[in-house]
């Protein structure tokens, strides 16, 4: 089996741990996790049975801090020692740490590195520093991985000489509900907004649509937010909302999805979505904006519903009509989604796809 040095950031840890079981079929995996962000620092605490080792290193999350320079340099040295001693491929899930990235550019050869990119099209609020380093990485390295075919095609249009492969992210399974969260409102449909709350995810139109529906349904908001006050002010009747504005630990995630009737994803832009893959796993129908990724993942009116991007009225009309959906109609939606999920699972042969890419491009192990 080939050796794989897997470098990631705790922001992506929920995706990473869903990939390790499949990757371990073809690779011996040594993982390096930089826990520099303030949101997901609890993820790497969960060890994986599918990897040889996990090296967790905490760095200061503020880039303009002298401690950040020291931490990032120490973290790179830990990785570099492993790289010098292990004959294998480096798989780097790009993160925005400028000091680690600078050292990585200086000391890792392009012929044995795969750069993994979650977002080729940047979300609102991406720093200029992150954009700059990405552009340098795009020019220096030769091999790239994306998690969505549309993203890889757009990258190929700009960098036609680069070698690219894309993989479908596995479903996110957090186990069975443990009864840690109690939400259910008798006789009401539950609409869930889940995940780290940022402006581009358009929680504001979810709340505005919920205000009009009022007492016909119940609305759950779960996820960490650094600007919660501005969203809370939009709620007209707080009794219609259950809000969990905090980091949602893995063991609590099944409780939210097992009690929800619909997951709502009103994002203004998206390249992939963790909550969608959780909903797929727990068979929760989805209402989403008509961004390309969502439109490819949801069959409108069959397994879920699509509304025009940023259009609160269309979102309201869908949610309002689904508040009164019969149990038979709802169960048909769930059945249709299960059929779509079965097709999706057949496309997520990650280990074979990556191994074939390495062999076809003769990526050097040393």
Helix (H) or strand (E) holding 161: none
In a domain, 175, yes or no: no
Decide if pLDDT at 42 tops 60: no
Tell whether 122 and 160 lie within a shared domain: yes
CB burial string 271-300: b at 16+ within 10 A, e below: bbbbbbbbbbbbebbbbbbebbbbeebbee
Question: Which CATH number characterizes residue 315's domain?
Answer: 3.40.50.2000
Is 69 part of any domain?
yes
Distance CA 23, CA 51 (A): 9
- More confidently predicted of 36 and 207: 207
SS3 285: coil
Asked if residue 237 is part of any domain, the answer here is: yes
Same domain, 73 and 39: yes
One domain for residues 315 and 210 = yes
| Whether residue 23 is found in the same domain as residue 139 | yes
Between 255 and 17, residue with greater pLDDT: 255
Same domain, 315 and 353: no
Q: Are residues 96 and 193 in the same domain?
A: no
Q: 78 lies in which domain range?
A: 2-170+348-360
Tokens of 92: 């780097």
Which residues pair with residue 8 across a beta bridge?
33
The CA-based angle 337-342-344, given to 5 degrees, is 90
Residues 157 and 16 in one domain: yes
In the chain, the number of structural domains is 2
> Is 200 inside a domain boundary?
yes
Q: 13 and 151: one domain?
A: yes
Q: How many CB atoms lie within 10 A of CB 164?
A: 18
Contact between residue 119 and residue 270 where contact means Cβ atoms under 8 Å apart: no
Q: Mean of the pLDDT values across residues 322-332? A: 94
Does residue 141 sit in the same domain as residue 207? Answer: no
* Confidence class for position 40, pLDDT limits 50, 70, 90: very low
Q: How is the beta sheet containing 241-244 ordered, strand by strand?
A: 241-244, 217-222, 189-194, 262-265, 286-289, 304-307
Name the band, by pLDDT with cuts 50, 70 and 90, for residue 9: confident
User: Within a domain: residue 331?
Assistant: yes
Examine residue 184 and state whether it is found in any structural domain, yes or no. Answer: no
Mean per-residue pLDDT of the chain: 89
Percent of the residues in the chain that have a pLDDT greater than 90, as a whole number: 59
Residues 53 and 108 in one domain: yes
Global confidence as pTM: 0.76
Whether 99 and 142 share a structural domain: yes
Q: What contacts 338, CB < 8 A, 6 or more positions away?
A: 283
Q: Environment class of residue 32 by beta-carbon count within 10 Å: exposed (0-12), middle (13-18) or buried (19+)?
A: buried
Q: What is the DSSP string of 208-255?
A: HHHHHHGGGEEEEEES-BS-HHHHHTT-S-GGGEEEE-S---GGGHHH
Does the structure show a pLDDT above 80 at 37? no
Q: Do 26 and 113 belong to one domain?
A: yes
Instruction: Note the pLDDT of residue 122.
Output: 67
Closest CA to 157 of 103, 182, 121, 122: 121
Residue-level pLDDT at 31:
93
In a domain, 274, yes or no: yes
């Amino acid at each position: 089996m080939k050796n794989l040095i897997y470098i990631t950031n705790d922001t992506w840890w929920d995706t990473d741990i869903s990939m390790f079981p499949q990757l371990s079929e073809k690779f011996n995996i040594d993982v390096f996790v930089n826990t520099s962000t303030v949101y997901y620092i609890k993820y790497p605490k969960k060890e994986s049975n599918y990897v040889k080792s996990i090296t967790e290193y905490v760095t200061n999350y503020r880039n303009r801090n002298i401690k950040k320079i020291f931490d990032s340099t120490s973290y790179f040295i830990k990785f570099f020692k492993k790289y010098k001693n292990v004959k294998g491929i480096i798989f780097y899930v790009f993160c925005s740490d400028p000091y680690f990235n600078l050292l990585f550019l200086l000391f890792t050869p392009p012929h044995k590195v795969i750069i993994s990119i979650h977002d080729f099209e940047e979300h609102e609020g991406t720093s200029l520093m992150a954009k700059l380093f990405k552009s340098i990485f795009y020019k220096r390295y030769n091999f790239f991985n994306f998690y969505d075919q549309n993203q890889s095609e757009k990258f190929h249009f700009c960098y036609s000489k680069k070698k690219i492969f894309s993989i479908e992210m596995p479903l996110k399974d957090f186990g069975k509900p443990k009864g840690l969260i109690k939400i259910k409102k008798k006789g009401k449909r539950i609409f869930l907004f889940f995940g780290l709350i940022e402006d581009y995810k358009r929680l504001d139109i979810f709340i505005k649509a919920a205000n009009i529906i009022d007492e016909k349904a119940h609305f759950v908001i779960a996820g960490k937010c650094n600007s919660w006050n501005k969203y809370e002010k939009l709620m007209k009747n707080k009794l219609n909302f259950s809000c969990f504005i905090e980091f949602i630990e893995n063991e609590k995630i099944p409780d939210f999805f097992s009690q929800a009737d619909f997951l709502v994803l009103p994002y203004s832009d998206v390249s992939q979505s963790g909550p969608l893959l959780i909903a797929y796993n727990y068979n929760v129908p989805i209402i989403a904006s008509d961004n390309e990724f969502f439109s490819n993942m949801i069959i409108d009116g069959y397994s879920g519903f699509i509304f025009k991007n940023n259009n609160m009225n269309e979102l309201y009309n869908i949610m309002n009509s689904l508040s009164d959906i019969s149990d038979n109609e709802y169960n048909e939606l769930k059945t249709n989604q299960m059929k779509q999920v079965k097709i999706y699972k057949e496309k997520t042969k990650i280990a074979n796809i990556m191994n074939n890419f390495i062999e076809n491009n003769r990526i050097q192990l040393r």
